[in-house]
């Protein structure tokens, strides 16, 4: 059964997210919000296809997406699972108006706020609040990416699996083992063996 949310709720969630990162007045948000469009989609909807242009960036209000890349052999690698309060899309392709190598598809019925490239660039030039918000998001994403790379370099597979499952219990319950394996870069069979082994081990200290 599809469970979509109202346009008002979508706007409220975006306002809350922006104000959690930068100082935001009602007037600032009223101006910013006019550049976004609410969209409700079913599962298995392709929002971004490899080889195409990224016409929109998306803010996920409710639902779950898969952002992935497929190599020349046809093997799929999942980059992320954008869900509530995440931005989704290929920002490099979007901002520079270049074809993307990645795909973005909905895994659940999803409520989004989307913004076009022209409106996005317009806001960057005309709203100092939005410019600061995007700059802070970029900084935070860069830090998270560095942390993920370091974790991949310093952790074995058993540790990476344990951290992912313990850090994302709600997300894990919404994903198939096949999709999680794609994100972790292993086969589904290998992941299953690791999970069976982990049942015998104590939880990983995430502090």
- Give the pLDDT confidence score for residue 202 in this predicted structure: 41
Mean pLDDT of the chain: 90
Q: Does residue 207 surpass a pLDDT of 70?
A: no
Inform me whether the pLDDT recorded for 126 exceeds 80.
yes
pLDDT cut 90: percent of the chain above it: 67
Quick: pLDDT tens for 8-30: 999 999 999 999 999 999 999 99
Confidence at residue 97, expressed as pLDDT on a 0 to 100 scale: 92
In the block, which residue shows the tokens 């994903």? Answer: 175
Reported as a single tens digit per residue, the pLDDT across 27-45 is 999 999 999 999 999 999 9
- CB-count exposure of residue 173 (10 Å: 0-12, 13-18, 19+): exposed
Q: Is the pLDDT at 2 greater than 70, yes or no?
A: no
Both tokens of residue 42?
A: 């079913």
Q: Is the pLDDT of residue 61 over 50?
A: yes
């Amino acid at each position: 059964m599809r469970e979509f949310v109202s346009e008002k709720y979508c706007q409220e969630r975006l306002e809350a997210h922006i104000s959690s990162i930068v100082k935001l007045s009602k007037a600032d948000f009223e101006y910013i919000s006019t550049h976004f469009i609410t969209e409700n989609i079913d599962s298995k909807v392709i929002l971004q296809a490899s080889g195409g242009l990224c016409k929109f960036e998306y803010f996920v209000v409710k639902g779950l997406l898969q952002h992935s890349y497929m190599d020349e052999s046809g093997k799929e690698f999942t980059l992320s699972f954008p869900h509530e309060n995440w931005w989704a899309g290929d920002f490099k392709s979007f901002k520079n108006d270049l074809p993307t190598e990645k795909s973005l598809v909905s895994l659940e019925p999803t409520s989004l706020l989307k913004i076009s490239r022209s409106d996005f660039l317009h806001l960057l030039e005309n709203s100092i609040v939005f410019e600061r918000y995007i700059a802070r998001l970029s900084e935070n994403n860069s830090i998270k990416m560095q942390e993920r790379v370091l974790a991949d370099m310093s952790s074995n597979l058993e540790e990476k699996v344990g951290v992912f499952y313990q850090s994302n219990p709600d997300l894990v319950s919404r994903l198939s083992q096949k999709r999680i394996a794609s994100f972790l870069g292993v086969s589904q069979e290998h992941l299953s063996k690791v999970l069976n082994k982990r049942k015998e081990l104590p939880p990983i200290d995430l502090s």
